Amino acid sequence: MIGRIFAVLFQVALVLLLSPLVTGFNRVLKARAQTRCGPSLFQPYRDLYKLLRKGMVIPDTASWIFSATPYVLFVTTLLASLLIPTVSANAPLSLFGGVLAVVYLLALGRFFLALGGLDAGSSFGGLGSSREMTISAIAEPALMLAVFTVAIGAGSTNLSTVAQSALGQSWRFLAPSQMLAFAALFIVLIAETGRIPVDNPATHLELTMIHEAMILEYSGPYLALIEWAAAIKQLVLMTILVNIFFPFGLSADWSPGPVLLSLALFICKLVLLSIVVALVEISNAKMRLFRVPELLAIAFVLGALALVSTFLFQA
Amino acid sequence: MWPIGELYSAGLLVYAVAALAGLAAHFRKKNAAWIAASLCFASLIAAALEFSASAGALIVGTELNWSLPSGIPFVHYGVRFDPLSAYFNLVLSLLAGCVAIYSIGYLKHGVAQRRPGLFCCFFNLALLSLTLVFTASNIIFFLIAWELVVVTTYFLVVTDHESVEVRKGGLLYILMSRGGTGLLYIGFLLLASVAGSTEFQALHHSGAKLSPALGAAAFLFLFFGFGVKAGIIPLHIWLPAAHPVAPSNVSALMSGIVIKTGIYGMARVFFDFYGDLPVWAGMLVLLAGVVSALLGVLYALMEHDLKRLLAYHSIENIGIILMGFGSALLFRSFGHPQLAALALVAGLFHTLNHGVFKCLLFLGAGSVLQGAGTRNMEEMGGLIRRMPWTALYFLIGAIAISGLPPLNGFVSEWLTYQGLLSGFGATSTLTRIAFPIAGALLALTAALAAACFVKAFGITFLALPRSANAERATEASLSMKTGMAALALACVVLGLGATWFIPAFAPITQQVFGVQITGQLVAGNGFLLTAGSVHNGSVSPLVLALALVALGAVPLMLWFALGRKSPRTTGPSWDCGLPGLTSANEYTATAFSKPLRMIFAALFRPRREIQAEFDVSPYYPKSIHFESEIGPTFETQFYQPLWEGFLALTARMRKIQTGSIHAYLAYIFVTLILLLLFGVRA
């Protein structure tokens, strides 16, 4: 019990501290690739600190939903991060909710964020909410198919069980079903975290923005919570990708030595995945909104192929 | 011993007396409002009696079996409380009680207020006949009760019969229901012919005694017969026509429980009358579930009539229930009773959950309709300020129906997912691919439902009012709020305490599959819900909810440490520098669903018309007229040819309809002779 509480606290601290760093690293990579100087690696921390100390302006049309949204979004995303294995295959709360709970907790946060966007009463909020709910809805079947493929392979929807089973066979990612599922999940990661070519987190152009449009009316501490939640969500999805498909070095329990080693490896894996994401971002242009379904249809087909190949090649 | 029989008959008696009193009150026309309130209270008492009878039957496990002779061969007025009947009667009485509380206040306004006595008469009669449908144990008696439900709910639906739309909706409802009953007669008679009896007990596993072809035919007749009532696609068209035009407490009753009579019938047929069904039958049910769920939610997304939107969501949720039933059938065919029990529990639990949150949402829509005077979402907005309680309850219902944790919708969808996922390992044939694909489409359905309820809640309750009516909206009365609060509480309790209610399904799975799965579904001292075992996956809505609350400490600490001293002001929303934000700047329901309308254009076949008037240049229009419409695909592609064919057939039949009474007497005489000859020879 004490150990479990310690694990929860450790993972909360890890996720809170690491998630802005991943966002910062992504920005640095993109800036360097575009031969810009770019902001410091630690700029997201400074942003969050500053936003948390600033005053805020609440739209006069808004109700309590607007104020509740940042809390709900932050808390649900943080809880989702406790259900996935980061530095130990034994995730702190994975017993109380598997991968379905992760997906649905993120959906709960999104539900409130979209309501918060509508609550401000301007066109931008509604536009962002509408697009966000559309894209997440059509990303959902691809996400689930990829997740199901992994879950079927391990015989469990519990992410700790999945990671432990993957630890047993470290070369499983070479199986076609796993590679296809990885590709599907990667596309979903791009779409769900609002990266180019689906959305551009660095723009405030009315016609293209999705996430930024929803949160246009948020300021100060509320904005900080929303930005932080977005960073945590990105870390959650990336962690699922690296730790479920490439579980090398993942500690089986919470003893300090293996956890430190697995932390180092975890960061290395995140760096590699970030580089891939940044490469995708700089080598593509943003898509028209109505081209996004085609991209996600590709993800769906990849997920379905992953499933079929599980059927074909499984003894 | 629990006095099940006494409670049950007392409940029926109270319903019957209340119905008669309603009729009497209608003709006396005195103190009508006061009498209506007390009759609703009587329904509440009857529902409470029925609830305790059903709960007792489920917990204690006593089976009631009564039969009264009717004097006609094969017909007995028989009632039986087996676990399946008791469970559906439990769902009915829970919802009926909440709707009755709501009706006390609801009947003081609106169309039902004109004839409250008559309304209460039909309301109690409908509840009485619904109770009989769930407990009847004889085919003929079941069908009598079934028809009584159709007739009484028809009269409830057409309460506002001065309006053409209402009469059309009601007519479509009664016509489709009659057609469905016709199919049921054929199916039931086929089964009864081999069982040699019309008693449900004799029909147990009688499907196997029929030849394969006849067995399949009887299955199809019963599936589609009950499917009309449940509203599976393409037999759904009466739902979005009849539910919205009914008074809202009737809509709640229709969506919450009346369509569940179809689900009850299917459960009875699939798992009681048929001991085994071929694989195609399970696949058909699974397919019907997937199609109904997906198309239901897609059509719901395009609606901006709040009650029609909810009606389409009923179709969606019936689809989710059928996914559970379909996978249960498939598991039974492949010889996995444990997995079949898991899938059945998922379907049955979703039946209860859908009843609870759909009743809540329809009652919420009723309050909105009464407060703001419109069903059109485009004329609402900002109601959360004027109707804070209704908004809160509607939000709880919206979260629950979107399947989001930790409420009840999440639990039953989670179980459905787990059932579908287990399907992959359950067989070696290609059918195993169907399970995860169905699961992925369930995920799409759930995500679209969330999008739809962001629209339904956001456009209706948030931001600025879009019309003068919405600006003047008033909060619902105390009894209406109480009815909704009870259902909202049920959403929370059924979600957080799911592990405590799951054991109630043990008698049902024992009855139909001979296995008790609920012991394995609940682990960790009753706090963990598992998918057969902890290894397969587990979830605990209660712990998740507690963790959400506990993690709230993190933002609170951040705020306390850093943001405590920072000012918090209100100001106008960003309006691009234009003078002031008006409701015309807000996103509309139509605009919200526009991306999905374009993505699924092949299905919706949207038609739109834009006319701009301008003086100098087309870039400076004076006024713009925009019209957009979704094609009624099923009506034009499927029902229109059917209807035309039917008309052509009747035109031919007219030749023998001479209008002469002598000819008709001759017809009757010839028919009688033929039947007697045929009967004597057989």
Minimum-distance CB partner of A118 among B458, B544, B559: B458
Q: Are residues B529 and B655 in the same domain?
A: no
CA–CA gap between residue A60 and residue B464 (Å, rounded): 10
B444: β partners:
none
Residue to mutate among B559, B582, B599, B600, with most A CBs inside 10 A, is: B599
B149: in domain: no
Taking a C-beta distance cutoff of 8 angstroms, is the pair A139, A191 a contact? Answer: yes
CA–CA gap between residue B650 and residue B465 (Å, rounded): 52
Q: Are residues B674 and B593 in the same domain?
A: no
Q: CA of A41 to nearest chain B CA: how many angstroms apart?
A: 22
Q: How many CA atoms lie within 13 A of A180 on its CB side?
A: 19
Burial class (CB in 10 A: 0-12, 13-18, 19+), B77: middle
B78: in domain: no
pLDDT at res. B681: 65
Q: Are residues B290 and B412 in the same domain?
A: yes
Angle, CA A243 vertex, CA A237 and CA A244 arms, to 5°: 85
pLDDT at res. B51: 93
B631: in domain: no
Q: How many CA atoms lie within 13 A of B249 on its CB side?
A: 35
Q: CA of B485 to nearest chain A CA: how many angstroms apart?
A: 19
Query: Is A71–B543 a contact, with Cβ atoms under 8 angstroms apart?
Result: no
Q: For B110-131, what is each residue's pLDDT tens digit? A: 766 778 888 899 999 999 999 9
E strand or H helix at B259 = none
Segment among B243-252, B271-280, B593-602, B618-627 with least mean pLDDT: B618-627
Q: For B525-542, what is each residue's pLDDT tens digit? A: 888 888 888 888 899 999
Tell me which chain A residue has its CA closest to the CA of residue B403.
Answer: A104
Which residues of chain B are within 8 Å of residue A154 when distances are taken between CB atoms?
A: none
State mean pLDDT over B162-167: 90
Chain A touched by B440 (CB under 8 Å): yes
Sign of CA dihedral B650, B653, B658, B664: negative
CA–CA gap between residue A164 and residue A88 (Å, rounded): 10
pLDDT at B631 over 80: no
pLDDT at B63 over 80: no
CA–CA gap between residue B293 and residue B313 (Å, rounded): 8
Q: Are residues B645 and B550 in the same domain?
A: no
Strand-pair category, B76-80 with B522-523: unpaired
Q: CA of B450 to nearest chain A CA: how many angstroms apart?
A: 7
B675: in domain: yes
CA–CA gap between residue A48 and residue B409 (Å, rounded): 35
pLDDT band at B632; cut points 50, 70, 90: confident
pLDDT at B369 over 80: yes
pLDDT, averaged across chain B: 89
Minimum-distance CB partner of B586 among A60, A98, A121: A121
Q: Are residues B654 and B527 in the same domain?
A: no
Q: Are residues B396 and B295 in the same domain?
A: yes
pLDDT at res. B682: 58
Q: Are residues B407 and B536 in the same domain?
A: yes
State mean pLDDT over B449-475: 91
Q: Are residues B592 and B669 in the same domain?
A: no
pLDDT, averaged across chain A: 90
Q: Are residues B436 and B537 in the same domain?
A: yes
Segment among B123-132, B259-268, B659-668 with least mean pLDDT: B659-668
**Residue B577 CB contacts under 8 Å (≥ 6 apart), including other chains:** none
CA–CA gap between residue A51 and residue A46 (Å, rounded): 8
State mean pLDDT over B178-200: 91
State mean pLDDT over B295-315: 93
Which residues of chain A are within 8 Å of residue B423 when distances are taken between CB atoms?
A: none
- In chain B, how many domains are there? 2
ipTM: 0.95
Which residues of chain B are within 8 Å of residue A180 when distances are taken between CB atoms?
A: none
Query: Is B457–A56 a contact, with Cβ atoms under 8 angstroms apart?
Result: no
Which residues of chain A are within 8 Å of residue B385 when distances are taken between CB atoms?
A: 63
Minimum-distance CB partner of A101 among B395, B455, B539: B539
pLDDT at A315 over 70: no
Q: Alpha carbon B15 to chain centroid distance?
A: 23
HEC per residue, B283-352: HHHHHHHHHHHHHHHHHHHCCCEHHHHHHHHHHHHHHHHHHHHHHHHHHHHCCCHHHHHHHHHHHHHHHH
Burial class (CB in 10 A: 0-12, 13-18, 19+), B526: middle
State mean pLDDT over B449-466: 93
Question: Omega of the bond prior to A197 within 30 degrees of 0, cis?
Answer: yes
Q: For B317-351, what is each residue's pLDDT tens digit? A: 999 999 999 999 999 999 899 999 999 999 999 99
Size of interface A-B (CB pairs under 8 A): 276
Q: Are residues B329 and B428 in the same domain?
A: yes
B158: in domain: no
Q: Are residues B593 and B649 in the same domain?
A: no
Question: pTM (2 decimals)?
Answer: 0.94
Amino acid (1-letter code) at residue B429: T
Considering only residues A168 and B456, tell me which one the structure prediction assigns the higher pLDDT.
B456
Which residues of chain B are within 8 Å of residue A287 when distances are taken between CB atoms?
A: none
Residue by residue, DSSP assigns B358-387 as HHHHHHHHHHHHHHHS-SBGGG---HHHH-
* Residues 442-481 in B contacting A (C-alpha not used; CB under 8 Å): 443-444, 446-448, 450-451, 453-455, 457-459, 461-464
Minimum-distance CB partner of A129 among B454, B552, B588: B454
Percent share of chain B, pLDDT over 70: 99
pLDDT at res. B374: 87
Structure-token pair, residue B143: 């069908």
pLDDT band at B58; cut points 50, 70, 90: confident
- Which of these, B435, B178, B437, B484, lies nearest to B282 by C-alpha position? B435
B170: in domain: no
B66: β partners:
B79
Residue to mutate among B380, B396, B404, B460, with most A CBs inside 10 A, is: B404
Q: For A93-117, what is each residue's pLDDT tens digit? A: 988 988 999 999 999 999 999 999 9
CA–CA gap between residue B410 and residue A98 (Å, rounded): 13
Query: Is A137–B543 a contact, with Cβ atoms under 8 angstroms apart?
Result: no
B102: in domain: no
Query: Is B436–A152 a contact, with Cβ atoms under 8 angstroms apart?
Result: yes
pLDDT at A174 over 90: no
Minimum-distance CB partner of A58 among B384, B568, B588: B568
Q: CA of A314 to nearest chain B CA: how many angstroms apart?
A: 10
**Strand residue runs (E) in B477-546:** 522-523, 528-530, 538-539
pLDDT at B589 over 80: yes
Q: How many CA atoms lie within 13 A of A275 on its CB side?
A: 5
Angle, CA A71 vertex, CA B448 and CA A240 arms, to 5°: 60
Chain A touched by B384 (CB under 8 Å): yes
Q: CA of A34 to nearest chain B CA: how many angstroms apart?
A: 32
B624: β partners:
B612
E strand or H helix at B80 = strand B76-80
Angle, CA B407 vertex, CA B286 and CA B493 arms, to 5°: 115
pLDDT at res. B99: 94
pLDDT at res. B612: 82
State mean pLDDT over B378-394: 92
Residue range of the domain that includes B665: 638-681
B607: β partners:
B629
HEC per residue, A91-106: CCCHHHCCHHHHHHHH
E strand or H helix at A171 = none
Chain A touched by B294 (CB under 8 Å): no
DSSP state of B198: -
pLDDT at res. B30: 74
Q: For B508-520, what is each residue's pLDDT tens digit? A: 998 888 888 878 8
CA–CA gap between residue B469 and residue B489 (Å, rounded): 30
Minimum-distance CB partner of B587 among A123, A137, A158: A123
Rounded (to 5) percent helix, strand, coil in chain B: 75, 5, 20
Query: Is B585–A57 a contact, with Cβ atoms under 8 angstroms apart?
Result: no
Q: For A199-238, what is each residue's pLDDT tens digit? A: 887 777 766 788 888 888 999 999 999 999 999 999 999 9
Burial class (CB in 10 A: 0-12, 13-18, 19+), B535: middle
CA–CA gap between residue B459 and residue B469 (Å, rounded): 15
Query: Is A108–B399 a contact, with Cβ atoms under 8 angstroms apart?
Result: yes
B254: β partners:
none
Q: Are residues B415 and B549 in the same domain?
A: yes
pLDDT at res. B445: 95
State mean pLDDT over B299-308: 92
B190: in domain: no
Burial letters for B219-235: b for 16+ Cβ neighbours within 10 Å, e otherwise? Answer: bbbbbbbbbbbbbbbbb
